[in-house]
């Protein structure tokens, strides 16, 4: 008898995900296709809790770090899987200058504001709706951040849309509008281990970044102002290169960050959407992750500050260098380097960006 063709089906379901300390109830949404991709996302922080894909032997594994319950996410210091904002990154002394006006932002990390301050977007319960079609299933999350939230100006309406299709593409779209000139720099902070979330270090992972330049950091993890070529450096990922090659080397930048934690400045063909921004390949599983983003830069972060103090899913104790993050942003360009003016959004200029993660086996 003839073989019946496999039908491409998509689904989105939801279930309760526990009660937050303030009494609010969180929800967990599951987006699935028939090619082995299943993504579980909470409306708390927009967190990707689980991301399951098949390896080269058709064995499924969860490839993102995370926790089993919502209370662990409330206490999570690492931003595992979360939407980051209003401002991804560090702002020195929490001092923000826009159009000759200075704002004192909330300080939450030594002498700086990190990732939007206390109770930022990663700690908010977003309003959630879903959409389904033959082409994709989507989770739409919305949250309004009030004027003065963590010190930032403007009432800002945020929307994040997660979509999964039958081509094993997970797309994250970011929308924002403001009634006052402000800064917006959003990213997604999933920690990937393509061998499986409890598989140990990522030294065998091979990384490729489509960028000819990166930004060196000083000892306080701020860009020095230099724009440096990646060629012949520990930060040269112009071709697939194993993370373990230099991640524990005596390179000054690697020592400062305890691994990788720099801005790479995307080449023009990335920003135009013609080619991928970054790629990761894990040879044992055969899994490959390719990321597309028109943002002007990205951070490769290698879980340098995870220290074994947190117990994750399936009682796994996560350690340093047990995952990597691809964090596309718009802070830095090849012309100006890191400049907060690149992140300014005005009432007549809505914010939009898109990141697409493509999962396959090689």
126-150 burial, b for 16+ CB within 10 Å, e for fewer? bebeeeeeeebbbbbbebebeeebb
**Whole-angstrom Cα distance, residue 298 to residue 3?**
45
Active-site annotation holds for 189: yes
Query: One of 52, 169, 282, 327 is an active-site residue; which one?
Result: 327
Query: One of 115, 143, 189, 205 is an active-site residue; which one?
Result: 189
**Whole-angstrom Cα distance, residue 49 to residue 53?**
14
Please enumerate in sequence order all residues whose Cβ is within 8 A of that of 163, keeping only pairs 6 or more positions apart, or say none: 31, 136, 137, 138, 139, 170, 171, 173
Q: Which residues pair with 291 in a beta bridge?
A: 278, 357
Q: Are 44 and 17 in contact (CB under 8 A)?
A: yes
**Whole-angstrom Cα distance, residue 248 to residue 238?**
19
Q: Which residues pair with 137 in a beta bridge?
A: 132, 164
SS3 123: helix
Active-site annotation holds for 135: no
> Which residues are part of the catalytic machinery?
189, 327
């Amino acid at each position: 008898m003839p073989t019946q063709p496999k039908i491409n089906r998509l689904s989105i379901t939801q279930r309760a995900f526990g009660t937050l300390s303030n009494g609010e109830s969180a929800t967990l949404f599951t987006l699935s296709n028939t090619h082995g991709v299943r993504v579980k996302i909470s409306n708390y922080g927009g967190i990707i809790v689980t991301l399951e894909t098949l390896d080269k032997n058709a064995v499924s594994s969860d490839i993102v770090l995370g926790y089993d319950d919502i209370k662990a996410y409330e206490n999570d210091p690492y931003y595992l899987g979360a939407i980051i904002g209003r401002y991804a990154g560090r702002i020195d002394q929490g001092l923000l200058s826009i159009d000759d006006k200075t704002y004192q932002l909330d300080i939450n990390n030594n002498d700086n504001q990190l990732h939007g301050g206390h109770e930022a977007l990663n700690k908010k319960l977003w309003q959630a709706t879903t959409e389904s079609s033959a082409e994709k299933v989507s989770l739409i999350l919305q949250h309004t951040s009030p004027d003065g939230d963590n010190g930032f100006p403007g009432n800002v309406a945020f929307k994040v849309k997660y979509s999964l299709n039958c081509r094993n593409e997970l797309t994250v779209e970011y929308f924002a509008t403001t009634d006052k000139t402000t800064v917006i720099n959003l990213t997604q902070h999933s920690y990937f281990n393509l061998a499986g979330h409890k598989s140990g270090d990522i030294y065998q992972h091979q990384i490729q970044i489509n960028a000819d330049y990166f930004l060196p950091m000083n000892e306080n993890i701020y860009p020095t102002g230099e724009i440096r070529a990646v060629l012949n450096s520990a930060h040269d990922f112009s071709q697939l290169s194993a993370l373990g090659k230099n991640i524990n080397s005596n390179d000054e930048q690697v020592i400062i960050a305890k691994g990788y934690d720099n801005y790479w400045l995307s080449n023009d063909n990335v920003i135009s959407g013609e080619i991928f921004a970054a790629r990761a390949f894990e040879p044992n599983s055969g899994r490959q992750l390719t990321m597309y983003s028109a943002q002007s830069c990205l951070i490769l972060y290698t879980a340098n500050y995870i220290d074994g103090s947190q117990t994750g899913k399936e009682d796994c104790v996560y350690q340093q260098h047990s995952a990597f993050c691809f964090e596309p942003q718009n802070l830095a360009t090849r012309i100006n380097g890191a400049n907060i003016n690149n992140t300014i959004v005005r009432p007549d200029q809505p914010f939009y960006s898109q990141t697409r993660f493509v999962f396959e086996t090689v």
